[in-house]
Structure 1
């Protein structure tokens, strides 16, 4: 009996002070099981705050919090998708109050027709005079080969024109704004801002761009504009996304970009939430 008790105490001491390996001679933890593990009863986690034991709820998983911290129970939620249907995967909006200002010297002088220059897929480096609105340059990700990305851009355009009479010669500026993905033009709008019978006129500029089936992976979205031509008072400044006079402020003139990416899901990644 003494021998049996001594053996039991010795085994208990080993369990308390050493690592135990099951089906392995070199355990990597206090208990290291090399093989299948079959649990017939419950698993509990100690809450060190109040020393309570938590068994978790149905369909919960144990999730590690890193070395030195006890694991916690998390609920596993898997979104339900219907095949061959588009779902909104990415949605975000961005703003910029800095904008861009064009002097008369920034104006594009080109003998190439606009129809030949402004074509879908044109690289921004081939388009003269385009300046990016820095705060609207953003990264997006696409996870499926079937996708539709929508871009909604809005800004305010202002010129420091003086007041002109109804019979005065035309005083105006042509400009263009484009939406680019990976520096490739996917949408462009050209407009003209005219001098009127009040000084410092401005207009609201809106455009929507759509591109389908972007390659899977990360992409860069940019908005850039250019001053194309001037008529009448050609030395006037043109501002896009910022103000040239105090009749409006930077809050009113700021630019915004809304991005929505719809995809037909192909990879169903589980989402773990509390």
Structure 2
């Protein structure tokens, strides 16, 4: 009887040392499961014959680490002040073409929801798209450029730049450039929108408009007096960041 039981036992060991398939006749790894996996207790990684693997800590995520012999756990830290939101996407675009104005416009107020029309001129490459997949979200736009004036001595030049989402004004800032011909300054516009409806591929554009120029020529994102500035130095940069619940 001992011989009868001993032979099947050796066969079973041989099978388990090979590849084992569950719901598949052709396993491609040591354990190949074709279907759902239900783990009632812990999932441990990087164990040995002598030591149990690590179950991770509360809040850790399971990390597929292709550079190690075993996967591991990672702790994800969320930036202070953002609650339970984390970075979903971020992208930066740059433009060296810019826009130029040589005549005055109207120094009037602008309102959220205004259409992208009239004297608003889009900075050609300060254009991007982003998507929102969760009702709880924050979308931050950071725009920086250089404004430069030329001619008309020390006369001032005023202008405005705005962020348009799907061709609707969402944020705007005005500014005044003063100084002699060739003077320039940095212009920044930062804005955050919250709880945008879910949508694939919102469009975002930065456009600028002339206000009171006082017979000067105004360049935004371009050099209009190249004796002290060039287009590399004057370029515009737009960064769009989307935060969503982690």
Q: Per the shorter chain, which TM-score range?
A: 0.5 to 0.7
Q: Which moved further from structure 2: 29-38 or 182-191? A: 29-38
**What RMSD over aligned residues (CA atoms) do the two structures have, in Å?**
4.9
Give, in whole Å, the separation in 1 of the partners of 2:239 and 2:144: 9
Cα contact 1:179–1:223 (8 A) shared by 2: yes
Residue 130 of structure 1, CA deviation: 1.0
Any residues of structure 2 matched to 1:150-189 within 5 Å, and which?
A: 151-161=141-151, 163=153, 175-189=159-173
Give, in whole Å, the separation in 2 of the partners of 1:79 and 1:193: 39
Give, in whole Å, the separation in 1 of the partners of 2:172 and 2:142: 12
Q: Would you say 1:131 and 2:132 are equivalent positions?
A: no
Give, in whole Å, the separation in 2 of the partners of 1:137 and 1:261: 16
Give, in whole Å, the separation in 2 of the partners of 1:43 and 1:262: 31
SS, match of residue 127 in structure 1: coil
Give, in whole Å, the separation in 1 of the partners of 2:162 and 2:79: 37
Pick from 91, 99, 108 the counterpart of residue 101 of structure 1. Answer: 99
- Show structure 2 runs of 5+ residues with no match: none
Query: Normalized against structure 1, the TM-score is what?
Result: 0.58
- Show structure 1 runs of 5+ residues with no match: 165-170, 270-274
The equivalent of 1:55 in structure 2 is 53
1:159-204 Cα deviation digits (max 9, x unpaired):
331647xxxxxx665543211123211123455656x6x4323344
Residue 229 of structure 1, CA deviation: 6.8
Change (3 A) 1:3 1:261: closer
Cα contact 1:161–1:201 (8 A) shared by 2: no
Change (3 A) 1:132 1:88: farther
Q: Which moved further from structure 2: 171-180 or 4-13? A: 171-180
SS, match of residue 169 in structure 2: strand
Give, in whole Å, the separation in 2 of the partners of 1:204 and 1:78: 33
1:191-237 Cα deviation digits (max 9, x unpaired):
5656x6x432334434454544322455443211134676546xx4x
Aligned residues: 235
The equivalent of 1:168 in structure 2 is none
Query: Normalized against structure 2, the TM-score is what?
Result: 0.62
Change (3 A) 1:38 1:102: closer
Which is higher, the Rg of structure 1 or of structure 2? 1
Give, in whole Å, the separation in 2 of the partners of 1:229 and 1:3: 102
Q: Would you say 1:243 and 2:223 are equivalent positions?
A: yes
